[in-house]
Structure 1
Amino acid sequence: MTKQFDSVWLREPRQPKASGLRLDHIIGAAVEILDAEGLESLSMRKIGAKLDAGATSLYWYVANKDELLECVLDEFWGMVEVPESDETSWRAVLTAFAYNFRDTLRAHTWAASLIGQLPSMGPNALRLTDRLRRAYIRAGFRGVDTYLASGTVMSYVLGVVTPEIAWAKTYGTVDINRDVIVQMMEQVTGDYPEMMADYRKETPIDPGAARAMAFDFGLLCLLDGLEHRLPGGSGERPEG
């Protein structure tokens, strides 16, 4: 059966009760638990205990856990910094967004599981979306291409970071010992000596540097491709 679309952002927010407990307190506590223990460990009971409040008191602000997670996801979008598009070149805006989005995802890995699962309709998400929209329009994108371009950059960052998060969840760290990987590959690449030689020669020894190089290379290629699709390939909309 198809799930009916609903969102915490589609109803009027509740005013704080006299107890002093506020929605931002609940969101803050949820983020702390998520950062420390992960998405699977989050519960209304734990949040209530952290705030020294009964779990039922949380339901004054949110109807259920999904509504709380929507609020938490919007808090995440508020952490992703994006320069003002009217003051910076479109490529600089998107580069800053991509790197800040990447860093924020890596710092709050639980968000990767919520993006796409829950609607992003809160004030922080809308503010970020509009700032990016203006950057794409300033570049020269029009109509649906504006949102297709934005989705492409968003998907690129998610596509790079999500495997890192999965690896870290399984092995406890994103760092991979290159020597160990080389030894493992040597056992299975007997039919591909040239590929193995390339790997030994070309891949950086430091895994962090390798990830940074790969992210930068992919982002530059992506932005070059988007610029190529603009009228005249100039990247900036002509004045007037």
Structure 2
Amino acid sequence: MLEAIQLSKSFADKQVITDLSFKVEQGEIMCLLGANGAGKSTTLNIFLNFLQPDSGQARIDGVDVQQSANGKDKLVYLPEQVNLYQEFNAIDNLKYLASLSGLSVSEAQINAALDETGLEQNARKQSLKNYSKGMRQKVGIAFAIMRQAKVLLLDEPTSGLDPSATLEFIRIVERLAKKGAAILMVTHDFYCAHTLADKIGIMDKGKLLTLLDNNKLPLSSLETTYHELISGKAAMREAS
């Protein structure tokens, strides 16, 4: 459903992504783990067609995003800070987003989507200026549910969330994957990546250093592998 094929991107003389390749299938969750400047958000921006790669392809459902806008109909993007209309309430925001996307939805359908996210009834008609980050994210995810998104792109979604809000967010995203969505998340958060992902790609300086199967991978092993790869110790040990 989501595929990067030897993507490369540079800005001026700085190489930001180099020969990046991976796949995310339907119902699968992949996390790209890395520090600032690793190339994670640039990867998302290429899939969103906000940036053009110097070489390679970003495909959604087999279609190169540079060649056709059809893939965008299948995806929803949730940035680190969800920019919705602060003076609108959750229901009015979702009505407006639906109209922009050409969706015809009833208030009952909107409430059903919000029910799935767990947003409390008494908050739904309050303006978003009173919302926490976690509550705003629920509105964004409700839109993904309404749109029946086949691809969900998440950019540092748990940054600034407390542990209980992070766990609640993880459970919501897991339910979307069970419905068949392909989910790509970029994050610094070891716990979230380990708890949520089927596979984890570790990136540094624009390169995918390894792609780990997260099945039965201990969190301590993930952290050790990450730090060894980033520091170069793993490569030094192999050379010796």
- Name the structure with the higher helix share: 1
- Name the structure with the higher strand share: 2
The structure showing larger relative contact order (alpha-carbon pairs under 8 Å, at least 6 residues apart) is 2
| Structure with the greater alpha carbon radius of gyration | 1
TM range (shorter): under 0.3
